[in-house]
């Protein structure tokens, strides 16, 4: 008795639709040139505010052969802004001069970059708000 389906048919109400079409154009050569000029001026202003001073760097390299392992160990001692650092580079004993220099450059540049970037980001870490993780 109460299980009869009831079907109600309604028309969907019509709604007004408003569509705006905008034409997007590629940037012109003049606008790109103006953008590049403004970027160059902003970069020049930004760089002019940096002061590079008191950057002292001295470096000495000690070559220590290791006949047991057929290796050469380069001990690089350097002082950067008064802080003494040490890094070790190991190459095979019969490596060419280019391989030795490349290994020294790679290791020393990584060490210097780590030192410079750790100083550069030391003050910025606390100013960046970290999201709360639940």
Which tens digit of pLDDT belongs to each residue from 39-62? 999 888 888 877 666 667 888 888
46 touches 55 (CB < 8 A): no
Which tens digit of pLDDT belongs to each residue from 11-23? 777 778 788 888 8
pLDDT for res 134: 47
Domain boundaries, the chain: 57-120
Contacts of 85 (CB under 8 A, 6+ apart): 77, 78, 79, 111, 115
The predicted model scores a pTM of 0.51
């Amino acid at each position: 008795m109460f299980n009869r389906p009831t079907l109600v048919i309604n028309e969907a109400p019509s709604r007004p639709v408003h569509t705006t079409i905008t034409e997007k154009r590629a940037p012109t050569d003049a606008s790109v040139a103006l953008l590049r000029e403004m970027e160059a001026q902003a970069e020049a202003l930004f760089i002019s505010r940096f002061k590079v001073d008191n950057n002292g760097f001295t470096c000495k390299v000690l070559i220590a052969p290791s006949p047991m392992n057929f290796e050469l160990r380069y001990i690089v001692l350097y002082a950067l802004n008064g802080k003494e650092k040490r890094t070790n580079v190991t190459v095979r004993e019969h490596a060419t001069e280019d391989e030795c220099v490349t290994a020294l450059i790679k290791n020393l540049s990584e060490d210097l970059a780590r030192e410079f970037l750790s100083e550069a980001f030391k003050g910025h870490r606390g100013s960046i708000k970290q999201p709360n993780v639940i």
